[in-house]
Structure 1
């Protein structure tokens, strides 16, 4: 028997009616935030960057990644060279890319995933996950470091790295995030926006579905946002979800 409030229809209706105003206000706030984001100043990118790509064309410049479009989203997947793990959070987000990409490419937007590991390491995991998006390697370049998603050992040892527009202590060499670029008619490239950490959650459609449900994300707070339930999508068949009175318990078989 649930211990949640059970109300007669009239009380249920009035409570949801009041809450609906909050939902609409949030929608309007989100629209204004997007407008404010588009109005931010841009940064001209003058440094040349090259990437190893999954195509037969070999190395590509940052300009090439636009694929003839004017806008480019780069998702920074945490994947350092010789990694002995596969980032669950980055993989969770990446599971949503192919569906969105069917529409983005028709809206003047190209999207690529970029990691620091050599291309061969990326392609093996991409094949395993059956992802179709373009995944490029910045191995050997300054791209990840310049855009503050990778850090040197000296930076980490100093206890002060620039991340999310502030100096913080960092323990790992790589972090996730998204960076947005625009290329004008003269070929000039600008960084228009970047987001790191939990700022990329709005790219994860599964969260939007879970946030509609009574049990929500089944997480233990902002410091444990993924560990309780998210798995690489080909590992779920080894686990079973058992409903419980206090929530959902995930039990390994």
Structure 2
């Protein structure tokens, strides 16, 4: 952890004046966020030509069958490849927020789902360890991860750059984080409406919003990659051990 920042100590009146100046900037950011959200909702859609088949706890299911009776589906592209000992720690940090959000999103006609390329048995074992309840399906054997540019072949990585976050870039791992949104019409046709990658996945990290309110913040300045401090929520007792690189290195890309 970085050394504490030395802050000036001032009167309450001085603090309020400085705080009000910052509040004006915060309001600018809020209004900009509202305008961008409107632009996001207005994006055109892409009709999916393939109704991907996934392995689920209820047996094989098509993407169009994973909406849980709702019209909108939010998917976390969770970094967990075949044969991995455990899921990515940073993706796990993201997923820790899902169960609490699920009932609220359901009332906005939104279903939640995590997708990984690991076989279903490996996913279920890790899901049980972490105590999660949200649906998590396996794309092992289909092209979903490749088509949405969150899994890369050895040949792609050997070329030095892969297509990620809508451009060619160097990426150190075979799996990448992301969030994608889909909509389904009354005929069962599925449309891709939105995806975000890199630091865009912070939309799922409500903890970060609270951390950013504190004086120390994320404590990531000067670190080799972001989220180095994050652990799986059942591993925080061993803070002396260095954290292995994961999707935090990808998140450093704006």
> Scaled by the length of structure 2, what TM-score is found?
0.89
CA distance, structure 2, for counterparts of residue 225 and residue 158 of structure 1: 25
Whether 1:109 and 2:110 are equivalent positions in the alignment is yes
SS class of match (1:37): helix
Moved more, 218-227 or 166-175: 218-227
Q: CA deviation at 1:221?
A: 4.8
Aligned to 1:230: 230
Deviation at 1:222, TM superposition (A): 7.4
Q: Distance in 1 between matches of 2:104 and 2:203?
A: 17
2 CA distance for matches of 1:9 and 1:117? 55
State the match for 2:26 in structure 1.
23
Task: Report the structure number with the largest CA radius of gyration.
Answer: 1
Partner SS state of residue 72, structure 1: strand
| SS of corresponding position for 1:179 | strand
Distance 1:146 1:220, change over 3 A: same
Q: Structure 1 length as normaliser, TM-score? A: 0.89
Question: Which consecutive residues of structure 1, in runs of 5 or more, have no partner in the other structure?
Answer: 241-253
Q: What is the CA deviation profile of residues 157-216 of structure 1, one whole-angstrom value per residue up to 9, with x for unaligned ones?
A: 223321111112333211010110011122221110001111111210110111111111
Decide whether aligned partners of structure 1 residues 159 and 2 sit closer, same or farther in structure 2, where only a CA change above 3 A counts: closer
For residues 40-51 of structure 1, what are the structure 2 equivalents within 5 Å? 40-51=43-54
SS in 2 for 1:217: coil
- 1:120-152 Cα offsets, whole Å, 9 max, x none, are 000000000000000000000000000000011
Comparing both chains, which one has the higher relative contact order based on Cα–Cα distances under 8 Å and sequence gaps of 6 or more? 2
Instruction: Give the Cα separation in 1 of the matches to 2:137 and 2:197.
Output: 19
What is the aligned counterpart of 2:39 among 36, 39, 42?
36
CA 1:187–1:12 in structure 2 vs 1: closer, same or farther (change >3 Å)?
same
Aligned residues: 237
Three-state SS of the structure 2 residue aligned to 1:11 is: helix
Question: What pairs up with 1:88-99 in 2 under 5 angstroms?
Answer: 88-99=89-100
Q: Which residue of 2 aligns with 1:213?
A: 214
SS in 2 for 1:224: coil
| Cα pair distance change 1:48/1:221, threshold 3 Å | farther
> How large is the Cα RMSD of the aligned pairs?
1.7
